[in-house]
Amino acid sequence: MRRRVLGIACSPRAGGNSDLLVEETLAGAESAGGAVELIALRDLDLTPCQECDVCLSSGECPIDDDFLEVLEKLLACDRLILATPIFFMSVTAYAKALIERCQCLWARKYVLHQPLFPDQQRDRRAMLISVAGTKSEQMFDCIELTIKYWLDVLEMKHVSSLFVNQIDAKGDIRKHSSALEEAFRMGQSLVTDAQAPDKPEVIRLFGGLSGETALSGDNL
């Protein structure tokens, strides 16, 4: 059966650098046999969590908007790719709204003790893509804990991250072939790797005015 791969674009800018990277990653996943889908949060009606606490007793979010459709896709997919630029040392407001609305899943798991998948153990894996426009080598440290605990609630294993820094102007990522090549490769690996790694593969790329990139990989 084909792996269901869901890409989520979190940038407010259509066709921006993180959009292009998630599209390339999905292309890699599709080339490896994955059934891919891309959604852009900017196109959806997504209200932030209202802290009404209804989910603490029901496990359901009572807000009637597009989150309910996204939640269905989040639970159905086998592989997830979240792509976000860095805004003020964090994920975008779109990404944060989605993450916070998953409070209903946290309530199911930790308050109501209801398994997300009661009938089966599922192999669910996730990849993080993020783009920033500064020279700081610590730019992406800020989002790793947020993503770690969100993926825990989703019962997904974080297997890889692609971080590209010093990229700012719309479309500049096209000048950096290493970033696009890594995105494609990592999309393939997301589908084809038989066993999830013990620690996520982390690829860090740094852009520059010349269009050249420096590549480093590590395991965090």
**Residue 52: CB atoms within 10 Å:** 11
Question: Would you state the pLDDT for residue 95?
Answer: 97
Cβ neighbours for 157, distance < 8 A, ≥ 6 positions apart: 124, 125, 126, 151, 196
Place 17 in a pLDDT band, splitting at 50, 70 and 90. Answer: very high
Structural domain range at position 213: 4-219
Total domain count for the chain?
A: 1
Place 130 in a pLDDT band, splitting at 50, 70 and 90. Answer: very high
Q: What would the mean pLDDT of 18-35 be, rounded to a whole number?
A: 97
Residues 161-203 pLDDT 10s: 999 999 888 989 999 899 999 999 999 999 998 899 999 999 9
Phi, psi of 50 (to 5 degrees): -100, 0
CATH number at residue 169: 3.40.50.360
* Helix (H), strand (E) at residue 22: helix 17-31
Cα-based angle 192, 185, 129 (whole degrees, multiple of 5): 105
Judged against a pLDDT cut of 90, whether residue 207 lies above it is answered with no
Question: Would you state the pLDDT for residue 134?
Answer: 86
Q: In the β-sheet with 201-206, what is the strand arrangement from edge to edge?
A: 35-40, 4-9, 79-85, 125-131, 157-165, 201-206, 214-219
Bridge partners (DSSP) of residue 203 are: 162, 217
Cβ neighbours for 218, distance < 8 A, ≥ 6 positions apart: 202, 204
Residue 213: left if φ>0, alpha if ψ -120 to 50, beta else—which one?
beta
3-class state of residue 202 by DSSP: strand
Place 208 in a pLDDT band, splitting at 50, 70 and 90. Answer: low
